């Protein structure tokens, strides 16, 4: 007797973090119903069949580092993308789940109000599934007491900053957060840069009248990241709390991370495409153009640095490859990069350029187009590990029959897509540029499928998903390495 499915994906090369197999996939309702040998479903009835002949079929991307609808936090500008436009951009680039920051402000004493306000921004607007990391700017007693409520509300991760005036925590506050996070099985993401070193370098540059965008990179040297990364590792080890070091840009910082991992510590790390595909030279373009690539940490010195980051992905130092999509308009002096331009400073002042680059749509296509990582590794760092680290596995990041959502990205077969140079108008964000314009892409998703529904059909209308199709993802604890001891942290151990 034939079985009915909603969708079959046949003849593709199915890639997970574990293996590459010539198998077919059956989908019923919004789940992966079965993954079977080629041809197994030829007598099955299905409402729709996609022939993925020659193309790769992967779990949809999970991008766990996305900024949307944020107020000014990193310079004067505010986000160009809303939940609607950011999540739209995500699905058009093969990403089916995003985790977005819910930013608490320094003058706020509660996290639950922040969470509620962020839910209100996202609800009914998203094209992809979504969740939130709480961004903690004021770890007051009251805010820390809300961690159990956060967990009940499905939030199992938060981000803290060692820099930025609007967000920075001192080491004592970081210890407070790590201790409470450890107790409630919450993963702490840390932006590690030494704030005083950045401020000192900024003053040195300004004294010498060096204000152009390229000096943003000079003011954020690798040493600022290296010192703060090592400090964050020490604080994490002291509390025995797992951390994820976000957007690591320098091989020297990656070395500290690897050494900590080799000692068995629960230190996880993230890198981003800007550290694989851009360098400091991208900030040194004529006029103000370099501002397009101003982000923190900045792209580093040379191809050798990029090479070190690739090696960190290959050897497992980096758990995830996220976008750090932090979109600002370029040609805009009210909310965008040009807010830092005045009559006195016609090329702007680097210290006021909003920090961040768009990249949620280009993350997966860039990683595929580099043709550098083994495909299983690519799936691991762009989807599966993020799902594991942030408590979404195996619902996301996998093809496990009966358990995984049918979130799928299908790539064109080799040679079916003519390599093309990216133009910003090909993208679906609400930003007037991409740092990757002009770069050659050899791969782009042909289809993106969200819980069994095609939402991106590149040759059949492009974006075909609906606003509001994405749902909130209630998350559990991380399934990657956590605290080494199950005992409560005890001062008598010191
Ligand atoms: N770095 C950026 O470039 N933008 C957002 C925040 C951050 O840490
Ligand atoms: Zn950051
Ligand atoms: Zn960020």
Predicted pLDDT at 76: 77
**Ligand 3 ion local residues (Cβ < 5 A):** 324
Q: With 90 as the cut, is the pLDDT of residue 77 above it?
A: no
Q: With 50 as the cut, is the pLDDT of residue 327 above it?
A: yes
Q: With 60 as the cut, is the pLDDT of residue 244 above it?
A: yes
Mean pLDDT of 60-77: 90
Q: Quick one: how far is CA 434 from the chain centroid? A: 16
Mean pLDDT of 85-97: 99
Mean pLDDT of 19-29: 98
**Ligand 1, CB within 6 Å, residue ranges:** 67, 74, 191, 295-296, 324, 326, 355-356
Predicted pLDDT at 72: 84
Whether the CA torsion 417, 422, 425, 426 is positive or negative: it is positive
Predicted pLDDT at 2: 64
- Backbone φ and ψ for 225, nearest 5 degrees, come out as -75, -40
Nearest to 65 by CA among 2, 159, 180, 140: 159
What's the pLDDT band for 1 if we cut at 50, 70, 90? very low
Predicted pLDDT at 225: 98
Q: Domains of the chain (ranges plus CATH)?
A: 7-59+395-463 (2.30.40.10), 61-376 (3.20.20.140)
- The pair of structure tokens assigned to 411 is 């790539």
pLDDT digits (tens, 9 = 90+) for 385-418: 999 999 999 999 999 999 999 999 999 998 899 9
Question: Which among 68, 245, 355 is the best mutation to test ligand 1's pocket, defined by most ligand atoms within 8 Å of the CB?
Answer: 355
CA 464 – CA 458 distance, rounded (Å): 9
- Compute, in angstroms, the gap from residue 296 CA to the centroid of ligand 2: 7
- The pair of structure tokens assigned to 417 is 């897509």
Mean pLDDT of 338-352: 94
Q: Which stretch of DSSP H or E encloses residue 257?
A: helix 251-262
Nearest CA, atom 1, ligand 1? 296
Contact 313, 373 (CB under 8 A): yes
Nearest CA, atom 5, ligand 1? 356
Mean pLDDT of 44-58: 97
Mean pLDDT of 219-244: 98
Which residue carries 């492009």 as its tokens?
A: 462
Q: For residue 390, what are the contacts with CB-CB under 8 A and spacing of at least 6?
A: 62, 64, 99, 131, 133, 156, 157, 187, 475, 478
Which residue carries 């996220």 as its tokens?
A: 322
DSSP-assigned letter for residue 413: P
The dihedral over CA atoms of 249, 424, 314, 245, expressed in degrees to the nearest 10, equals 40
């Amino acid at each position: 007797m034939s079985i009915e499915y909603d969708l079959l994906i046949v003849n593709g090369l199915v890639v997970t973090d574990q293996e590459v197999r010539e198998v077919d996939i059956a989908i019923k309702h919004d789940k992966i119903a079965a993954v079977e040998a080629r041809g197994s479903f030829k007598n099955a009835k299905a409402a729709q069949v996609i022939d993925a002949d020659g193309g790769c079929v992967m779990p949809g991307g999970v991008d766990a580092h996305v900024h949307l609808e944020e107020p000014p936090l990193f310079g004067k500008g505010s986000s160009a993308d809303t939940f609607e436009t950011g999540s739209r951009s995500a699905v058009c680039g093969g990403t089916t789940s995003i985790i977005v920051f819910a930013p608490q402000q320094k003058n706020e004493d509660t996290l639950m109000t922040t969470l509620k306000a962020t839910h209100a921004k996202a609800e009914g607007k998203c094209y992809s599934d979504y969740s939130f990391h709480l961004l903690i700017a004021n770890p007051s007693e009251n805010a820390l007491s809300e961690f159990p409520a956060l967990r009940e509300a499905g939030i199992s991760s938060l981000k803290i900053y060692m820099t930025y005036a609007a967000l920075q925590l001192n080491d004592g506050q970081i210890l407070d957060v790590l201790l409470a996070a450890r107790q409630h099985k919450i993963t702490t993401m840390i932006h590690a840069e030494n704030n005083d070193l950045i401020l000192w370098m900024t003053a040195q540059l300004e004294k010498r009248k060096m204000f152009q965008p390229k000096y943003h990179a000079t003011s954020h040297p690798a040493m600022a990241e290296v010192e703060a990364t090592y400090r964050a590792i020490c604080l994490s080890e002291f509390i025995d709390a797992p951390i994820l070091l976000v957007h690591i840009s320098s091989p020297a910082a990656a070395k500290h991370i690897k050494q900590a991992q080799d000692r068995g510590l629960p230190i996880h790390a993230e890198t981003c495409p800007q550290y694989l595909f851009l360098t400091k030279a991208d900030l040194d373009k004529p006029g103000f153009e370099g501002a397009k690539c101003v982000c923190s940490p900045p792209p580093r010195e040379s191809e050798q640095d990029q090479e070190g980051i690739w090696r960190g992905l290959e050897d497992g130092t980096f758990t995830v490859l996220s976008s750090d999509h932090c979109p600002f308009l370029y040609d805009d002096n009210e909310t965008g990069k040009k807010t830092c331009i005045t009559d006195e400073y016609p090329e702007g002042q680097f210290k006021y350029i909003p920090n961040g680059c768009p990249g949620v749509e280009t993350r997966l296509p860039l990683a595929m187009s580099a043709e550098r990582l083994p495909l299983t590794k690519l799936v691991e760092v762009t989807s599966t590990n993020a799902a594991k680290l942030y408590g979404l596995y195996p619902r996301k990041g996998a093809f496990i029959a009966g358990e995984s959502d049918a979130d799928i990205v299908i790539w064109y077969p080799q040679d079916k897509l003519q390599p093309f140079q990216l133009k910003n108008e090909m993208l679906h964000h609400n930003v007037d540029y991409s740092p990757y314009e002009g770069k050659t892409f050899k791969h782009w998703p042909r289809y993106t499928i969200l819980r069994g529904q095609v939402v991106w059909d590149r040759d059949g209308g492009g974006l075909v998903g609906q606003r509001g199709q994405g749902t909130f993802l209630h998350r559990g604890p991380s399934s990657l390495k956590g605290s080494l001891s199950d005992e409560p942290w005890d001062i008598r151990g010191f």
